[in-house]
Structure 1
């Protein structure tokens, strides 16, 4: 029987290097593409992935299985590292971007969102059906995994996947109009 990521994370918290290695092989293929979508730089994404797992190793004892799944907890660490990197980058350029603007920028892949673009994003989101909009926001803004959305929204996995895929296709077209 294979151990879950949550068990591997608990064992990692006790200093189990083998469990940490197995956790890395389980989670890194899922976290890397998410970081790559945010950063758009392969080498930097690899660096951030490594830093993510260093933090996971150092902070594993803080993980609470009652609050989130191992992937969600690890993804949150990775996402915060990516946002921190983008914040530092924007400060170097002396641009004053708020965290919300950075998050919106990441979600739609634009360089900088004007007030007009934010209104457009809200307009596009409002055109999604209620359940699809909720799944889209929970996934892309809050980092919920598809299997977590199945539990939260009480719909089959295939439906959730379709909503997210179609929602992303629609949002990309809608925002670029």
Structure 2
């Protein structure tokens, strides 16, 4: 109801929607970003996007919270992708934390870093995000369940297979 009224430009409905949903969405953004200012910025961006796209909301497909949460999640993941890309482009010194048998794959030499970047780019979609978020940003597997919206078993499989691929790819 509030989203339908927001789609018609009703500012009071939008204000009510914000007051209702922001306390639920903000903690999710905090958990994803681990940075209060960034989470606040993304919350604002989320509600700007909701205001702009409210006419696209379909009550038959999802609830208002689910639709809004999806927007927030996509904005957060987009931010993480951009951050990851900037880190890769600038070849920062921070190494991916792996167990001892895997760590030699991630040396700080630019040649090896280039191979790692190339191998990462060959991973597909959510699996690539799982590997990057886990090994570059230190996300726990259970956190990835919320970030990527997939079961824990799927996350574990993506990480295991992703790291097996990375080891094989970087060593060749």
Q: TM-score, normalised by structure 1?
A: 0.57
Stretches of structure 2 that go unaligned for 5 or more consecutive residues are 90-116, 157-172
Give me the whole-angstrom Cα distance separating, in 1, the residues matched to 2:67 and 2:80.
20
Q: Secondary structure at the match of 1:64?
A: coil
Q: 1:84 aligns with which of 78, 87, 101?
A: 78
Matched ranges for 1:27-42 at <5 A: 27-42=21-36
Question: Displacement, 1:140?
Answer: 6.0
Question: Displacement, 1:111?
Answer: 3.3
Q: TM-score, normalised by structure 2?
A: 0.59
Matched ranges for 1:1-177 at <5 A: 7-94=1-88, 96=117, 99-100=125-126, 101-103=128-130, 111=136, 141-142=148-149
Question: Displacement, 1:94?
Answer: 1.3
Q: Cα RMSD over matched residues?
A: 3.3
Greater Rg, structure 1 or structure 2? 2
Aligned residues: 119
Q: Secondary structure at the match of 1:66?
A: coil
Q: Secondary structure at the match of 2:88?
A: coil
Cα deviation per residue 1:85-128 (whole Å; 9 max; x = unaligned)? Answer: 0000011111745642324665xx65358xxx9xxx6xx9xxxx
Stretches of structure 1 that go unaligned for 5 or more consecutive residues are 1-6, 125-136, 144-166, 172-177
